[in-house]
A and B are shown apart, each in its own frame.
Chain A
Amino acid sequence: MADPIRPLVIVTGDADGTCDPETGVCAMPEPDGAATEVDPVDEVISESS
């Protein structure tokens, strides 16, 4: 894609799960776990450039 890479705000909202490209493993929720609601604006964990 031709779009330039621009700075990004990366948010976390306690995602239920993700699949890790390094291990190929899909992380699972804890049995008693539930997604926590967050404000994306307040949950900036990093910015990339």
Chain B
Amino acid sequence: MEVADEPVVIEMWTDLGCPWCYVGKHRLQTAIDRRPDAERFEIRLRSFELNPDAPAEPETIESAFIRSHGGDASVVLNAERRIQALAQREGLAFSLDRLNANTFDFHRVLHYANAQGHGLEFFSAVQDRFFAGDINPFDPNVLVEMAESVGLSGSRVREVLDGDEYADAAHADRNEGAALGLTGVPFVVFDRQVAAPGAQSVEVYSRILDQVTSKTVAHG
């Protein structure tokens, strides 16, 4: 294999409910898709629970905000509207009627999906439809359905959801992200060389891709 063809691993620490992770992943994918060597890049999704104390029972975004911060939900609604406008300008569906709940079980299923080589497909399918307001991903039956839609075994997903498989892996991801300097999500690590916190622009992601591939060529 030519050095210039060697795969480049891009790890993205993310959480399902994080709107910037949604925007950032699409921008990263756009930056990759614009390249003639797009097939070189492998996005691996890493778990980062933003709110491990979130309740299992879904609640509205407004309710979650008031429960955790108190005060007036107009703060979060105004912010959501701004992100919605930005997302829609970039062609992304963005519903304000999303639910909020604990995402740990989702992350455990993500690890199962990663182990089967379908992590990105699974996460992307759930994330896109969640932000579009089409699904409640906190319903186990919905997660099973989404998993099956990308070729995963529904019965295995039910087994994962009914037990505690991949719990250690999900926790380990969070700890590893912190060790790498994560202070928020999304947090994208390119070939373990360069890290980019937050939802960067397509142009910034593109330049980082240029940077890491030139380093790979130079030092590979």
Q: Which residues of A contact B (CB under 8 A)?
A: 1, 3, 5-6, 8-13, 15-21, 24-29, 31, 35, 37-41, 46, 48
Contact = CB atoms under 8 A, between A and B. Distances in A.
Contact of A28 (B46, B79, B180, B203): B79
Contact of A39 (B48, B172, B207): B207
Contact of B19 (A9, A12, A26): A26
Contacts of A21: 48, 50, 182-185
Contacts, number: 118
Interface in B22-56: 23-24, 46, 48, 50-51
Contacts of A37: 201, 203-204
Contacts of B203: 37
B172 to A, nearest CB: 8
A15 B18 CA distance: 14
Contact of B83 (A6, A15, A17): A17
Contacts of B79: 26, 28
A15 B197 contact: yes
A11 B197 CA distance: 7
A41 B51 CA distance: 32
Given A5-B176, A28-B83, A39-B207, A17 B185 contact: no
Contacts of B176: 1, 5
A20 to B, nearest CB: 5
B15 to A, nearest CB: 7
B185 A9 contact: no
B66 interface: no
A39 to B, nearest CB: 7
B20 A19 contact: yes
A17 B198 contact: yes
Contacts of B192: 3, 5-6, 8
Residue from B18, B23, B173 with most neighbouring chain A CB atoms (10 Å): B18
B170 interface: no
Given A8-B194, A15-B196, A40-B194, 13 more contacts: A6-B192, A6-B193, A15-B197, A16-B86, A17-B20, A18-B199, A21-B48, A24-B51, A26-B79, A27-B184, A28-B82, A35-B201, A48-B180
A10 B23 contact: no
Given A3-B192, A21-B48, A40-B207, A12 B197 contact: yes
A19 B179 contact: no
Contacts of A46: 181
B181 A13 contact: no
Nearest to B51: A24
